[in-house]
Amino acid sequence: MNPVATAAATTVPLPATGAWREGDPPGRRRWYRRTQPLALEAGGDLPGVRLAFETWGRLAPDRSNAVLVLHALTGDSHVAGAAGPGHPTPGWWDALVGPGRALDTDRWFVVAPNVLGGCQGSTGPASTGPGGRPWGGAFPRLTQRDQVRAETGLADALGVQRWALVIGGSMGGMRALEWAVGEPGRVSALLLLACPAAASADQIAWATAQIQAIRADPHWEGGDYHDAGPGRGPHTGLGIARRIAHITYRSAEELQTRFGHEAQGEEQPWLGGRYSVESYLDHHAAKLVTRFDAASYVALVEAMNTHDIGRGRIDRRAALGRVLARTVVAGVDSDRLYPLAQQEELAEGIPSADGVRVIRSPHGHDGFLLETDQVGELVRELLDGAPKPAVRLTG
């Protein structure tokens, strides 16, 4: 069964990429444009950098109430709000952002950028490159530090010298950690969710399988497929990558409880039908290919593989010791992708961290996205101890 079959239920072929492209509705996005090329950690530079971002609430006159929210691999800047023109999905942390919620927009100015290398408005492989065509396979290799360096430019443009809180989970947690280590004076409080000090061999192995699935797609074309026309993108490879990833995002116990050995509907797997869990994975593959770009997926996963907070900083322990922010480290008890032992390493190395807070969830790694009540309590814990803005604001 084609992994994007459910997305292609109509006769209209999928576009080559699910990326936001010039001419699409902007939605709530705003853009920061960097005036100088961005020097990259691996060498060379990236010209024409821009970051799409969204904000909620209002910045206080003393600029003390800004909160930076950093998304995971297939997230974007649309943390809160409904789906609509320019935004194919509802806000991925909608329950946390708004008046009276943990990130109370009557008090806090919430900022969420689309990561550099992403595909929902920020510079990435689907963006127009110097020659007037999409970057495609010529897009340079990025690291988490490159992405954070771009985000510091956004902070400067907004006039935010110090974040009241930086929060991120999974890939977003890697960037949040880089912020706190690389720019310790600019982060007052830090919430790290389900992320490591460095990518492990196991995580790199899972990621490599996903990258190879995309590159093996006959429509990959070395990454230069963005203008190939409808139906010509590497949809099958991206769908397989999503299947592999999604297995790691959920727990074995949850999959067994929800699906067991059951067939999908009246189909009999031993007669060519599907198991229920296969249908579930097909569904998630189909959703992703309509809203994401395969080359961005590769670029971001490769950046995640480079993550090592100790690289060039003596070692990981020394790097973690640079964090000045009041810090809460949290992990998910059923997470098999970023297990609690990795959060324990963070908590042991960050001076202000007081052990690991455990998010109880049957959902595995995705628990940091789904258990919003528990995450909200951690957010409130950090923000309730923060100084009040100069005035109370309404957004």
**Which structure tokens are listed for 235?**
């949809």
Chain centroid to Cα 9, Å, comes to 28
Is 127 one of the annotated active-site residues of the chain?
no
CB within 8 Å of 56: residues ≥ 6 apart: 79, 80, 97, 98, 103, 105, 109, 110, 395
Confidence of residue 1 (pLDDT cuts 50, 70, 90): very low
CB within 8 Å of 378: residues ≥ 6 apart: 191, 328, 330, 357
Q: How far is CA 258 from CA 80, 172, 244, 363, in A?
A: 28, 28, 18, 11
Set 226, 235, 307, 365: catalytic member? 365
CB within 8 Å of 185: residues ≥ 6 apart: 162, 324
**Which structure tokens are listed for 37?**
């090329």
Is 170 one of the annotated active-site residues of the chain?
yes
How confident is the model over 6-34, as pLDDT tens digits?
A: 444 445 789 999 999 999 999 999 999 99
* Mean pLDDT rounded to a whole number for the chain: 94
Is 384 one of the annotated active-site residues of the chain?
no
Asked whether 319 and 210 are in contact (CB, 8 A), the reply is no
How confident is the model over 51-71, as pLDDT tens digits?
A: 999 999 999 999 999 999 999
Of all helices (H) and strands (E), which one includes residue 330?
strand 326-332
Q: Report the pLDDT value the prediction gives residue 269, as an integer from 0 to 100.
A: 79
In the predicted structure, residue 390 carries a pLDDT above the cut 50? no
The angle at the Cα of 132, spanning 219 to 150, to the nearest 5 degrees, equals 90
Q: Which residue's structure tokens are 């949040």?
A: 176
Give domain limits for the chain: 30-384
How confident is the model over 281-313, as pLDDT tens digits?
A: 999 999 999 999 999 999 999 999 999 999 999
Confidence of residue 395 (pLDDT cuts 50, 70, 90): very low
Confidence of residue 387 (pLDDT cuts 50, 70, 90): low
Set 246, 335, 361, 363: catalytic member? 335
Q: Report the pLDDT value the prediction gives residue 268, as an integer from 0 to 100.
A: 81
**Which structure tokens are listed for 120?**
């929902």
**Strand, coil or helix: what is 357?**
strand
Q: Report the pLDDT value the prediction gives residue 11, as an integer from 0 to 100.
A: 56
**Strand, coil or helix: what is 38?**
strand
Mean pLDDT of 322-349: 98
Measured CA to CA, the distance from residue 23 to residue 45 in angstroms comes to: 27
Q: How far is CA 356 from CA 81, 191, 212, in A?
A: 31, 11, 34
Set 77, 127, 170, 334: catalytic member? 170
What's the pTM? 0.94
Mean pLDDT of 137-148: 98
Asked whether 112 and 151 are in contact (CB, 8 A), the reply is no
By percentage, how much of the chain surpasses pLDDT 90? 89
State the architecture of 30-384 in CATH terms. Answer: 3-Layer(aba) Sandwich (3.40)
